[in-house]
Structures are given as C-alpha cells and as structure tokens.
C-alpha cells in the first residue's frame, strides 16, 4: 500500500474521504513492521490487537478527531496505561504504568492509533541507539549504521515507513540528530510548550517531547494537538498555542535568516553537510530572504555546560531506582540494604548510564557544586542571552538561525561506542538549543555517498522561545523549494 509512504495529513484525509479504512491502513503498517522491523529493531513492543480495535472504532464513527485513524509510534519513555514502559533498560523491564503521558493521551484523544513503543538509548542516554538493553535500532538507509539517538527507534520507524508519525524526546538533540541521520523531519518545541507529565525523566530542565514526521505540516499539527497548559506539569507553560496547520504555508514577510559565525567549524563538517547548508542559504536568498551573520559568543561552552548539568540532573532523577522502591531488584542474596541497592543498580543499569551517573554525582558532591554545577547554570544563562539578542524582535533580530544538525551522515555501529567523548561531540550543534529552552527543527537536505551507500544529511533551523509558529513557516519555505520531500529509505 503506497499510502504508508504518504504524509500524516494525506493519510488522515484519505481515511476521511473513504479512500481507505483506518483498519486497512493500520494493518498495512502492522504488516510492514512484521516484514521489516526484524532487521531494523525500531520497536520494543507492538500492540496489534489494541491498534486494530482503535482503528475499527474510527471506521465505525465511534472515535473522531483531527487524527482519526492516523498511526503513531511512541518512544519507550512515554508512560502508557497499556503495554510496558522500560526506557530500553533492564532496570524497568516489565514495568507497567498506571497512567498515560499527557502528550500521548492528547494525540489519542484526537483519534490517533498507537502501534507500539519504539526503542531508545537507555534512559535517553546516547547518540546512536546502541546503549539499548533490547539491542538497539538500525538505520533503514544502511543497517550497518546507527539511526542516531537517543530517539533512534522513533527515527528509524519513521524513515522505514513503519508509522505515519512517531514521538521522541529531545534533551540535547535526541530528536534532531536522529532525524538528520534518517532523513526525516524532527521537531523540538520550546521547553514548556508540551507537557512532560508521564515522560520518564532524564534531565528535567532540558527534556522536551517532540515529533518525527514526513513534513513540516505534520509536525505543526501534532504539536498543536499536544501543546498547552497541563495541571499535572507545573513547568508546562500556560500560553496560547498559535500553531495552525493552515498558517504553515504563509511566508514570513521580510524574512531574516541568521548564520552563526561560531558554527563555522573548520574541517569539522562532512562536505555534504556543508554543501547542504550552503544550498539552504542560496535557497532562502533566492526567495528574497536577508542572510545576516549573528554572534553567539558563548557557543563553545555549550558542550561542557550541558554535560555537567544534564548528568547532575540525571544522577538525581535515577537515584530513585534503588531495588527497593523502584526498578530491578537483584536475586543475589544479601541482608545489607546498601549492598542490595548497589547490586540492583550494577545489574539494572548499562555502562553509559553508570558513567553519566558517576559524573553527575561527582559534580554535585560536597565542595564541587559551585565549581561545576553552579558555573554551568551561569553559562546556560549566557547562552540564552546570546540567542535572545540574535532574535531581538525590538531591534534588527533574525526570524530563524540556520546551521547544520550534525557534523556528518550516520556512522557505523560500534564505531564510537567505546569513545564517549567523540560520541558526546555529536551534539555540538544541538545542545545549546536545549540549554536556552528554545525551539529547533531538522529538515532533510539530501544525501551523501559514503562507502557506496546514500546516507541522509540534514539542516537545522532554530527559533526563539515559543516562536514555533514562525519557525515552522520558515521551515516550510525550505521544504517547499528544496526538493527533498520525497526522500525515502530504500527498504520498499
């Protein structure tokens, strides 16, 4: 069924017209998952009976809404009151949540059909989807390569047409980086735009729910439906949600695109990535946009500040998994509560999780809070100030900032897993967006030939806090003219 390769909105409209039934389309996706996912490993758990029952209710008119019959894959850190929520970790193996995350619930209330839970780097810690306790996902463009992370399963499922759209989370680039490596649209809204209630926490002040889609319009629709105040999450902003599907096609008058001079890293980018950014600049210039250099002087401090703050918050959040109240409990005999906790964590957490817990615990330990954590918070404020100045609406600020999403195409599985520093540097273009709490989107920008394989590359657009409406309009303008909307992984 060719419709499985179409956009979410095209599928929704086809169901509404009666061109295809929700059951037929849902079954087509379930068939594709059965056929292709053994090689991709993008899903941890699939819910065929529940999905088909929901689809049948859509066809019977019992479930309606702006997403009626549209299929979704959900990252395995969104709690659902069906199936399991494991964060791809042995620590939460078999965990069944008594409630559903707000973001997922709102999409289901709009008529969406959840196909299953997608795999991820354990507790969202990783850039390659190789730290997963379930084996990890593979890139549909070349299964010897990573799909990116931590939302690698969601990106791989989207690129492989194993759902109409998927949900992910972005703490330091975990939506945008895998979107670029898999050739799909990855959108991270501003911090506070979408409720975090029911998302298992990694770093609470950085985590944000977002989407993987075929088009900017699909991202706009899903964000509109997920966003808005939530009484269960006091960090969710009580602000008007302006995102509207129809407005995405409206060009931004007097468009100004910022080019950050600190993002020009000599020799750091793959030639195809630099060519994609150059082509995007030319596209916007041809459309009448003004391109201006912007100064983000504290950019170089982003990676160290991020890895101090993120690991500190992670250490605090994962302290609850003690083998007593939460999570995996060792079977090894012991009468010492401290030993019980130590053994449970040793067995339940993977190496990358342990590494980051130790780093975070260190920077929070006595005598080091001010030297590391407090300093990272001050740097975070300076980074936000840099972006605020660039977007200054009262002066000659820009509407969006254009830069790479990643330094290159997808790397091979196992290539960086034993080099944590090299892995962390994958986030060089993405972490500052999270530190500043602003919005960002990665867009497919063509392919690069690497070792005989065509691999996707992406470009990134960054917008101000709660500037999603304008950012999506700017992104749509690129999408309309760049010619990459039909980019598809070669898996049939």
| Run of H or E residues at 446 | strand 439-450
429: nearest Cα among 309, 219, 265, 292: 265
Measured distance CA(485)–CA(475) in Å, rounded: 12
Longest dimension (CA), the chain: 72
221 alpha carbon, distance to own chain's centre = 16
C-beta neighbour count of 244 within 10 angstroms: 13
462: nearest Cα among 258, 252, 245: 258
Positions marked active-site = 75, 150, 174
- Strand order from edge to edge, sheet including 400-404: 43-46, 113-118, 71-75, 165-169, 209-213, 185-188, 439-450, 453-463, 400-404, 256-260, 290-294
SS3 453: strand
Measured distance CA(195)–CA(197) in Å, rounded: 5
**Are 55 and 62 a contacting pair, CB within 8 Å?**
no
C-beta neighbour count of 418 within 10 angstroms: 9
Rounded (10°) angle between helices 48-59 and 22-40: 160
C-beta neighbour count of 358 within 10 angstroms: 11
SS3 49: helix
Measured distance CA(105)–CA(88) in Å, rounded: 21
| Residue located via tokens 């070349």 | 142
Structure tokens at 301: 């401090």
| Residue located via tokens 């959108």 | 187
| Run of H or E residues at 188 | strand 185-188
Measured distance CA(42)–CA(150) in Å, rounded: 12
| Residue located via tokens 């780093």 | 359
């Amino acid at each position: 069924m060719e419709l499985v390769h179409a956009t979410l909105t095209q599928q929704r409209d086809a169901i509404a017209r009666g061109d295809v039934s929700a059951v037929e389309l849902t079954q087509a996706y379930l068939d594709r998952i059965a056929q292709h996912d053994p090689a991709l490993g993008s899903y941890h758990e699939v819910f065929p009976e529940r999905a088909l029952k929901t689809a049948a209710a859509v066809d019977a008119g019992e479930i309606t809404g702006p997403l009626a019959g549209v299929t979704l894959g959900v990252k395995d850190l969104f709690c659902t009151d069906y199936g399991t929520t494991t964060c791809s970790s042995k620590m939460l193996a078999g965990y069944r949540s008594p409630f559903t995350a707000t973001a997922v619930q709102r999409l289901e209330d709009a008529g969406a059909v959840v196909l299953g839970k997608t795999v991820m780097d354990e507790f969202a810690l990783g850039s390659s989807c190789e730290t997963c306790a379930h084996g990890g996902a593979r890139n549909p463009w070349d299964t010897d390569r990573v799909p990116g992370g931590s939302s690698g399963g969601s990106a791989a499922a989207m690129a492989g047409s194993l759902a109409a759209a998927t949900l992910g989370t972005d703490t330091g680039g975990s939506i945008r980086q895998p979107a670029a490596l898999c050739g799909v649209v990855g959108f991270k809204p501003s911090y506070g735009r979408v409720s975090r209630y029911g998302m298992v926490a990694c770093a609470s002040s950085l985590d944000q729910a977002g989407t993987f889609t075929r088009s900017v319009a699909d991202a706009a629709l899903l964000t509109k439906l997920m966003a808005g105040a939530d009484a269960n999450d006091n960090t969710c902003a009580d602000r008007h949600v302006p995102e509207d599907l129809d407005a995405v096609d409206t060009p931004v008058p007097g468009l100004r695109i910022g080019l950050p001079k600190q993002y020009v890293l000599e020799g750091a980018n793959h030639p195809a990535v630099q060519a994609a950014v150059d082509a995007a600049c030319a596209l916007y210039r041809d459309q009448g946009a003004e391109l201006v250099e912007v100064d983000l002087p504290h950019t170089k401090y982003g990676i160290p500040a991020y890895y101090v703050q993120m690991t500190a918050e992670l250490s605090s959040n994962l302290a609850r998994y003690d083998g007593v109240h939460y999570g995996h409990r060792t079977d090894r005999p012991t009468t010492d509560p401290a030993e019980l906790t130590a053994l449970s964590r040793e067995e339940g957490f993977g190496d990358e999780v342990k590494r980051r817990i130790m780093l975070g615990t260190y920077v929070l330990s006595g005598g080091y809070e001010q030297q590391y954590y407090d300093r990272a918070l001050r740097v975070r404020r300076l980074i936000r100030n840099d972006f605020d100045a660039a977007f200054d609406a009262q002066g000659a600020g820009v509407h969006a900032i254009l830069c790479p999403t990643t330094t290159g195409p997808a790397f091979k599985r196992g290539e960086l897993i034993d080099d944590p520093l090299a892995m962390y540097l994958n986030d060089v273009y993405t972490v500052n967006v999270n530190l500043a709490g602003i919005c960002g989107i990665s867009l497919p920008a063509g392919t690069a030939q690497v070792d005989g394989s065509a691999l996707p590359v992406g470009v990134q657009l960054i917008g101000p806090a709660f500037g999603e409406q304008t950012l999506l309009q700017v992104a749509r303008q690129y999408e309309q003219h760049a010619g990459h909307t039909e980019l598809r992984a070669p898996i049939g």
